Structures are given as C-alpha cells and as structure tokens.
Amino acid sequence: MGKIILIGISKDHGSPIANVRSVEAIKGKGLVGEKHFKENNKKRIQITLIEIENINHYNKITGTTIPSINFLRNIVTEGIQLNELVGKEFFIGAVKVKAHALCKPCKYLQESLQQKNIVKEFLLTGGLRCEILSSGKICVDDQIIS
C-alpha cells in the first residue's frame, strides 16, 4: 500500500504546475482545474501518477535535484510499484481509478527539464495513465489501495 505525497495540476500547457493539497476528481472528465479536464475525456489522460522513488533514483544517478512536481504528473506516490497496476482498478483515497498504460516520458518533458536522458531513463518508470471511475476528492497523504 502506498500513499500520495504530492498533487500537481496545471491549467494550460506550459503553465507552471500548482502544488495543491487536494483536488476534485470527476468520473470520465479528469481533475478539476487541470488542463486535460473535459467532458468525455480520453481514458488515458484523466489522471497521471509517478513514484517518488523513481524520481529520487534519477536525481541520484544524474547528480540533479529536480523537484518531483516538475516531472509533469498529477500525483506523486510513495511506497507502491505503479507498473504492477497496469490493467487493474484501484483506489486513490476514496476515488476508484483504472490504470490503462505506462506514462512514458516525452520529448517535451526532457526539454522542459533541460535533461538529455529523461526519455531513456523513464521509459519504463515514468508512471501510469489512468481513468477516473468514481468522483471524489483526492488529498495528500491519501492511501493507494490495490
């Protein structure tokens, strides 16, 4: 069982990511206030997660100190291996989600962090793309239960 240690949302592409203590998740739409929030949203972009352990590992091997919020995922987790959840339903606090795919890093992330190896290093550890199956509030310190 893991937990949420950070929640980040961004209103527009390229806008700074706001670090928030809680956010409303709406079934089929996404996170309120997030750039991808919309009616009949694609399942793969409603909410994204990444493990702090993978971010810390990257920072250690590269000698960087990139803040976890800068990795462009909505939820930063601790104490859970997200890759094992692909294809499964689980709970983030009281909100039910389904992990549809790994969230592979993109060239935009690599360029925004001014790193040359993000795509390679996070190919299999960049987090999850999930669908929101039930509405509710997600908060920092909520448990992740699979």
Please give the model's pTM, rounded to 2 decimal places. Answer: 0.92
Element (H, E) at 52: helix 52-62
Residue pLDDT, tens place only, 34-66: 999 999 899 988 999 999 999 999 999 989 999
Q: Would you mind telling me the total number of residues written for the chain in this entry? A: 146
What does the block give as tokens for 135? 């509405």
- Taking only the tens place, the pLDDT of each residue in 63-120 is 999 999 998 899 999 999 999 999 999 999 999 999 999 998 777 776 777 888 877 7
Residue type, 6: L
Going from the C-alpha of 60 to that of each of 44, 71, 91, the distances in angstroms are 30, 15, 30
